[in-house]
Structure formats: structure tokens, C-alpha cells
Chain A
């Protein structure tokens, strides 16, 4: 097991990156990519976190090279599966022609991204080869347990007609002090391929969690993102799909529950680059205690993307007087032949509704619990059953009505 302590200008240097890459048996091109990212990291400004959430990106990062496969379990739903799940560093040599263009194409939007590209310590590659006709989905389940800080890179390539359903659950076993989770996920859906990618984040309250998920959908491909966030002290989560070819579609469905001093910065972006593309963003969250959330949804329809549709909806429920939320919906449309809509709301439980429920015999807590469950239900109904059950029970166990709702 290798340990590298990285602090600015000190441990995070070329030698540390070389050592990490060597330990992971990476090909030369990947090492060069890491070194280029390190250079970019030094030149870029600090990651910007806006809208009143004052949490700085990691100034100090301790990297522990946990043996990846110990922390990773996968199983496939179909009996015979040609889907590959492999260590990304090893895959970088084996699948160079496939992975090199993907990994080296990225531009770093801020310092955090460059830092991540230079020093990610765990990588996973999931590959679904081309099929003649679309088939049943192959399930891949990633159980990503972490102790302290972890930088995880995930690359998914679903080739023509393939169908993947990936769920990742992020948990933490024994966090001492602050830890960081930075995760970069890149997803490519080839022509007519379908990818459902669900992230369930239940990290500890001392974890700073940055998740960046980017997808590219080719002709008639579909990418459905799901994220369920109930953990983390500070969570910044950015999901973007580029609908690059005709007929591509994407949904981003998010549900969160925040309590205590949890802070969430959620960004969902759908970029329509081609004709006949469609996208949807739906986010629902509830906050209690002093929790704060920013929910930014952004739909961009480019001039060339005629006959496209982009819809977004974000609703946040505040369950305490000190909880705060700002939904920031944004539409940018450069073509008139499109359908687009947005809706955003922040509200509290309706007192009339609670009275109605209580008049039937439910006490304050039962009535409020039922109303909160009802708030999430229309969204959860559309999720895979286990995921919906999981968040239902998490929410139920966390709900804490300190104040009389009467």
C-alpha cells in the first residue's frame, strides 16, 4: 500500500504523480496526461463556489491507494455478459485506442478538475461492446466504500445498441476528521445505446464530496442519470449531458435530503447540440435543521438543434425555519422550433394539508411524514424499485420535526 501526502507545492509534485502512476502500472500516455493536468492545476484559478456556500476545495489531500477491487463489487444481471469491468489504469494499456481519446480530450474548467486528473487514485472502466440489436440491460453494481480521502475516476463506454444499468453506492466506514471524495465520471453512449447511471451518496458528515458526471449521447442514444444524495457535509455535484447527435435523449433525476449543517450544490445541465433531441431535469429535495441547498438546472438548446424539447423542474421543501434553498433554473435557447419549460419552487409543508391529515386521526409527526413522502413519491415512482425503497427508508429515518408543525 502506497501513501502520498499532497500539499500544494510540496508533496503534489511531478515525483509524487510519477510514483502514483508507476504503482498503478499505467502506460506512459496516461502518466503524461497526469503530468499535463498537474501543470494545468498550477496555472488555473481556485475552484469557484458561488451563491453563499463558503466551502473551499481541498487544499490538502491525503491519498491512500486502497486496493480497488477490494472496494468494488460488480454483478451482472444477465447470465452471459460480455461487459467488462476493470481497473482503469490497467485498462488504459489494454484499450488504448478507445480510452486515450476520451481521457486526453478533457479541458479543465477549474483547478479542482485539473487536480483530480493529475492525482486520481482509483479508476474503474466499464465497457459494453457493440451489439446487433438492443437487448436487456446488464446491471453493474459498484460498492464504493471509503475510509478517508478517495479520488475515483469512472469511464463508461457503451457501444452501439448496448444497454447498461450502473448503480454506484458511496459509503464511508471510519472517517476520522475531514475527508474528501472527488469523483469524475465520463459516460459515452454510442448509437442507439442506453445507459442508466445511478449514484447513491451516503458519505459521512465530515466528507467533502465533489462529483462531476459528464455524458455524451450519440445518435438515438439515451443517458438517464439518477442521483440520490443524503450524505456528505458539503456536496458539489455536477451532471452534464451533451446530446451530440440526432435522436439523443437524456434525463437527470435527483432526490436529496439534507439535515444538520449539510450543504449541497447541485448542478444539472443538458446541452442540445443536434436536431430532434430531448432532455428532462427533475430534482426534488427536502431540508431540515440548518441544511442549505443550491439547485442549478440549465438547459441549452443550440441553434442547430431544431425540433428539440428540454424541460426542467426543481422543487425543494423546507422542514425547518433555518433551512435554506435556492433553485436557479436557466434556459438558453438559440432555436425557435423547440419546446422548453422550467419550473422551480421552494416551500414549506402546507398547514391546511397537515390539518386535513390530522383531522383523520394522524398525529403531527405521522401527518408530516406522509406529506413529505408524498412530496417525493411522484419522482420516486419513476426510479428502479430498490433505489426508491432505499431513499424512502432513509428519509423516514432522518425526518425529525423539532418544531410543532401545528
Chain B
């Protein structure tokens, strides 16, 4: 059985249906690209998978590690290993990146085995170095005043520190210049391991030059319109999303 299975998922926001029966699968050790034009429902799927309270599942299911998680709150999903890198992460003034990450790590641990501060700081510094982030980010308030690129790096930093087993990366490439894109992509590749699956949501094929997908889904109008191998990326690059509407 595949690690993550989305079965005929219908989702409403404010009583308006935005996902109209999405089915897809991501397994361990797979990088799956989810492509599609703006408004296709890609980000909505990311939110629904993570359990955003405004995204109401009206039918269908999300099965992760063999368990139906459709009704689980976001924190329970996170504890099972799910992670969402946000396209537009919230700014949390007054909460430093370090304080936030330590709280997040400890929330997944038993009360008696909280992460020692020294070990945490060491890990954090090493990870920031890998992502070419200045150490001063530790003390800055979470995402407040971060540039678009800094926010994306901060999301990948969180992923690296939280060691998820299924990461949904929503438009992690948008707003990045070429150098930042390379750094972020490198970070993703280094974190990738045989126990981990990635659902990479993207509008452009750009990041896929650096992070190679095993499988590609294309979403249109709240549904999966097409799926295939990596060759689909080239096809989209040449022909755009238009021909798929006709199909």
C-alpha cells in the first residue's frame, strides 16, 4: 500500500466546492510533482491534506500510513510525519524562530524526553549553514519582515529540523532567484531519504530541473487531469496546460 493515498477527495471552502474528486498517491522515497495552472486547486489540496479548518472535506478520504486521517486535526497529522511547506507562511511576531522550532520539536516528543537546548542549537546552526542562512535568523521573529526567498528557506529549515516523512512543498520555488532556488533544491535533495516521500506543488517546471520527480500529476479545475512520468514535465513546458483542457 502506498504511504499517502488521496481518494476521490471533494473539498469545500465557504460552501463552494474547490476540489472535485482528487485522487493521487505518493509513496516513500518518491518525489511526486503536482503541476497545474493558477487556480487549479493545487494549494487547496495542500491545505486539505494538512487539515486546514476552513477546507471541509465533503466526501472522499485521505489515508496516510494505512490510517484514515481525513478528520484528524493538523497537529496529529504533523505528529504522524506529515509536513506542509507553505506558499505564504504566516508571520508570527514576538515568537523567535528558535523558540518556535524548539516548541514545535518538543510538541512531538514525550514530556520526559524534551530536546536539550545545547543539542537543539547545534542542530539548528548546522541546518542553517546548509541552507546558507545567517545565524541571526534564529533570533528574528518567525517570518516577520522576511523577504519572499527568506520565508521559503525558513520553511525548508523547519522541514529539516522536524524530519517529516511526507512533505508537501507548496510553490517552494516561487519568488526565488536562481541562486536561492539552487540552495533550496539542494536542501530538499539532501533531506530526501528512502523513508521519505515528497509532493512537490509547482506552477513552473523550473525547480524540477534540480529536484527530479518520479511521477507527475497535472491538476485542472479541482481535479487531476493527467498523470505520467517525468516526460510530462517537458511536454507541459512545450505545449503549456491548454491541450489538457481539451483532453
Contact = CB atoms under 8 A, between A and B. Distances in A.
B78 interface: yes
B107 A360 contact: yes
Given A359-B50, A361-B79, A361-B162, A378 B74 contact: no
A361 B107 contact: yes
A355 B74 contact: yes
B197 to A, nearest CB: 17
B95 A360 contact: no
Given A361-B78, A370-B95, A406 B53 contact: yes
Contacts of A108: none
- Chain B binding surface, main DSSP class: mixed
A377 B94 contact: yes
A363 interface: yes
B73 interface: yes
Nearest to B99: A370
A266 B43 CA distance: 45
B52 A355 contact: yes
A361 B141 contact: no
A351 B91 CA distance: 12
Contact of B92 (A351, A356, A364): A356
A375 interface: yes
A15 interface: no
A350 interface: yes
Interface stretch (B7-15, B82-90, B128-136, B239-247): B82-90
Given A360-B78, A376-B94, A378-B94, A355 B53 contact: yes
B66 interface: no
B99 to A, nearest CB: 8
Contact of B95 (A355, A358, A361, A371): A371
A375 B105 CA distance: 21
A10 interface: no
Nearest to B85: A359
Interface in A349-406: 350-353, 355-364, 366-367, 370-371, 373-378, 406
B89 A378 contact: no
Interface in B184-198: none
B158 interface: yes
A356 B92 CA distance: 9
B78 A370 contact: no
A352 B50 CA distance: 13
Interface in A308-333: none
Interface centre among A351, A352, A366 (most CB of B within 10 A): A352
Interface string B90-115: 11111100011001110110000000
A286 to B, nearest CB: 12
B154 to A, nearest CB: 12
Contact of B74 (A353, A359, A370): A359
Interface centre among A350, A357, A363, A376 (most CB of B within 10 A): A357
Given A364-B73, A376-B94, A359 B78 contact: yes
A376 B93 CA distance: 9
Nearest to A378: B94
A361 B103 CA distance: 9
B183 interface: no
Contact of A358 (B78, B92, B105): B78
A350 B100 CA distance: 16
B227 interface: no
Given A361-B78, A370-B95, A353 B90 contact: yes
Contacts of B91: 353
Nearest to B91: A353
B221 interface: no
Interface of B: 50-54, 73-75, 77-79, 83-84, 86, 89-95, 99-100, 103-105, 107-108, 141, 158, 162
Query: What are the 4 closest A-B residue pairs judged by CB atoms, nearest first?
Result: A374-B94, A377-B94, A374-B95, A360-B104
Interface of A: 350-353, 355-364, 366-367, 370-371, 373-378, 406
27 contacts: A350-B90, A351-B53, A356-B89, A356-B90, A356-B92, A357-B92, A357-B100, A357-B104, A358-B73, A359-B74, A359-B78, A359-B83, A359-B84, A359-B86, A360-B75, A361-B78, A362-B107, A366-B103, A370-B95, A370-B103, A371-B95, A373-B94, A374-B93, A374-B94, A374-B95, A374-B141, A376-B94
